[in-house]
Amino acid sequence: MENYPWHLYVMAAIYVFAGSMHFIKPKVYMRIMPRYLPKHKLLVYVSGLAEVLLGIGLCFSATKNYSIYGIVALLTVFLLVHFYMLSSKKANAGFSKWALILRIPLQFVLIYWAYWYLSFS
């Protein structure tokens, strides 16, 4: 492991945890998958694996920047899910409308947070 700021390791742990949850509770994620996407279960597992690998990749200088770009791409794709959840009562998975709306700017904060670490060598 490299000597990066502690908060980079916090971010890495968040992605490893979030990705692991795709395998522990896949039905939660399958419920919020947009209907127009195929093979929901496969997509849930692939996105979970990507989150775990990208989170681990943040911890090593050889893979940190690749992981950051991967996280930015993943979070951008996840915007589809956030907008889909706003589309109907059935798709919102029990979240209130205001919480779903707040998730969208939060997504951009997470993208910026990841992108910010490109400045650390």
pLDDT for 121 equals 67
Task: Classify residue 70 by burial, with Cβ atoms within 10 Å: 0-12, 13-18, 19+.
Answer: buried
pLDDT digits (tens, 9 = 90+) for 14-33: 999 999 999 999 998 998 89
Average confidence (pLDDT) over 60-85: 95
How much is the pTM?
0.90
Distances from the Cα of 34 to the Cα of 31, 40, 64, 70, 92, angstroms: 8, 9, 30, 21, 11
**Residue 66 pLDDT greater than 90, yes or no:** yes
